[in-house]
């Protein structure tokens, strides 16, 4: 579920990141063009360009002029490390607190039930 309080370009960035981490795009793969991705997401192309630019600034994508944007070598590993750090620092603490608050056990969290 998308967090509507986040700027659109950050939500688009999360979609792209998830696609890379899920293996839809691997290191070296061509990403959809700004216009194509904007069309599939119902977003403004300038907003998509801003999301792509943030990946370029982080060294996760490279631009080949006249060809397109590609997932950089090592980007999947670096992105996974970045997302893990974010999860551990920002997402997990309130989840762990809620688990303790509710007295849940590991058996209660059986992934097969999900």
Q: What is the residue-averaged pLDDT of the chain? A: 92
Predicted confidence band of residue 2 (pLDDT cuts 50, 70, 90): low
Across the range 77-83, mean pLDDT stands at 96
- Residues 61 and 28: their CA atoms lie apart, in Å, by 9
Q: Specify the DSSP class assigned to residue 107.
A: G
| Residue of 39, 63, 46, 59 whose CA lies nearest to 7 | 46
The CATH class that applies to domain 8-113 reads mainly alpha
Predicted confidence (pLDDT) at residue 110 exceeds the cutoff of 90: no
Taking a C-beta distance cutoff of 8 angstroms, is the pair 78, 60 a contact? Answer: yes
Residue-range domain boundaries for the chain: 8-113
* pTM for the full predicted model: 0.81
């Amino acid at each position: 579920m998308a967090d509507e309080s986040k700027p659109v370009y950050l939500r688009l960035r999360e979609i792209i990141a998830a696609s890379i981490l899920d293996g839809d795009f691997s290191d070296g793969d061509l990403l959809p063009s700004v216009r194509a991705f904007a069309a599939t997401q119902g977003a403004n192309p300038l907003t998509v360009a801003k999301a792509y630019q943030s990946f370029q600034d982080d060294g996760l994508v490279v631009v080949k002029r006249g060809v397109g944007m590609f997932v950089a070598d090592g980007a999947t590993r670096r992105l996974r490390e970045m997302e893990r750090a974010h999860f551990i620092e920002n997402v997990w603490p309130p989840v762990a607190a809620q688990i303790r608050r509710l007295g849940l056990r590991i058996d209660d969290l059986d992934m097969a039930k999900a």
